[in-house]
Structure 1
Amino acid sequence: MSDLEKIESFISKHHALSLATSDGDELSVCSLFYIYDGLTFVVASSEDTTHIKHIKKNQNVAGNILLETKEVGKIQGLQFRGVFRTLGDEKLKKLYFKRFPYALAMRAKLYKIEVKYFKLTDNRLGFGKKIIWKEP
C-alpha cells in the first residue's frame, strides 16, 4: 500500500475535520463535515462565517482529522494544507448531499479543499511514525 493510500484509508474512516484560516493576525478554526474524493475534501459552509470571510482574503488553509483515543499506541492523526475554493462539480455536490442530506435544508454552499500536503501520524506503525505526502 502506498503512502497516499494509507492516508486515504485513514480519511475514509472519518467524516469531520478541523479547518484553520487566517486573515493577517486574526486566526480562526472550525469543524466541518466532509466527503473526500482524490486529494479533494468537499465541505459545506455559509458566507457569514468567520472562516469564509478569511478565505475570501486568503485561500490557503490548514486542518486536521484526529482519532481521539487515550491509548498512546493507537494514536492517529492527519494534518493537511491546501487551497480552499468554491465547488462547481455537480457529481461531488450530489455525493455530499447524499452523505449529509440535512445540509440541503440549511441551504449550505459547497466548497472544496485542494490538498497540497498531508502528514499522517500513526503510532500503530511505531511511536511517532509519520507518513508525509506532498504535491509533486
Structure 2
Amino acid sequence: MSQNDLTKIESFLAKHHVLTLATSDGLELSACNLFYAYDAKRVSFVVASSDDTTHIKNIFKNSSVAGTVVLETKTVGKIEGVQFRGEFSEVEDDKLKKLYFKTFPYALAMSPKLWQIKVDHFKLTDNTLGFGKKIIWQASFL
C-alpha cells in the first residue's frame, strides 16, 4: 500500500461522478446511486441525500457503508472499477460543502443535505494494467 496506489485510485475517481452505495440497518439491505465529489485530502466522498431515503434511515442505525464506482464497458481489457468501505456521516466541514457545490453548482438551488463517506478501504480493479490487476489501499488509522 503506497501513496502511489492511492493516487491511481483517485485518478480513476476523478474521471467519474456517480457511485453505488450499499447500506444496512442490520436486517435489511439497500443500494442506491449518488452523485459524488471526492476530496483527496480527507479521502472522502461528499454526497447529497435527504433523511427520508432508505439509505439515510439505514445509516442512522449503522453508519458503516460499502460501494462501488465503475467504468461501464463490455471490453474486458478496459474494465476498471473501485470498491470501497467507509463511515457515513453528516458533512460538518465547510470545505467539503464548497467542493460539492463547485462540482454540482445546480444543486445549490435545491439546498440539499450533504453527507461525507470517510473511506477506510479501497480496491481498484484495473484490467488496463493487466488482466485482473488489483490495487488495494487501507487507511493507516485502522
Query: 103, 107, 114: which one pairs with 2:107?
Result: 103
Number of the residue aligned with 1:87: 91
Separation (CA, whole Å) in 2 of partners of 1:123 and 1:11: 16
Separation (CA, whole Å) in 2 of partners of 1:110 and 1:43: 6
Separation (CA, whole Å) in 1 of partners of 2:26 and 2:121: 22
Length, aligned pairs only:
136
Separation (CA, whole Å) in 2 of partners of 1:30 and 1:13: 20
Question: Match of 1:36, as an amino acid?
Answer: Y
Aligned-residue sequence identity (percent) comes to: 68
Coordinate RMSD, CA, aligned:
1.1
Superposed, 1:2-81 pairs within 5 Å as 2-38=4-40, 39-81=43-85
Give 1:90 shift. 1.0
Query: 119, 133, 136: which one pairs with 1:132?
Result: 136
Deviation per CA, 1:41-78: give whole Å up to 9, x if none.
Answer: 01100010000000000000000000001110000010
- TM-score between both structures, scaled by the size of structure 2: 0.92
Residue segments in structure 2 that go unaligned for 5+ positions in a row: none
- TM-score between both structures, scaled by the size of structure 1: 0.96
Residue segments in structure 1 that go unaligned for 5+ positions in a row: none
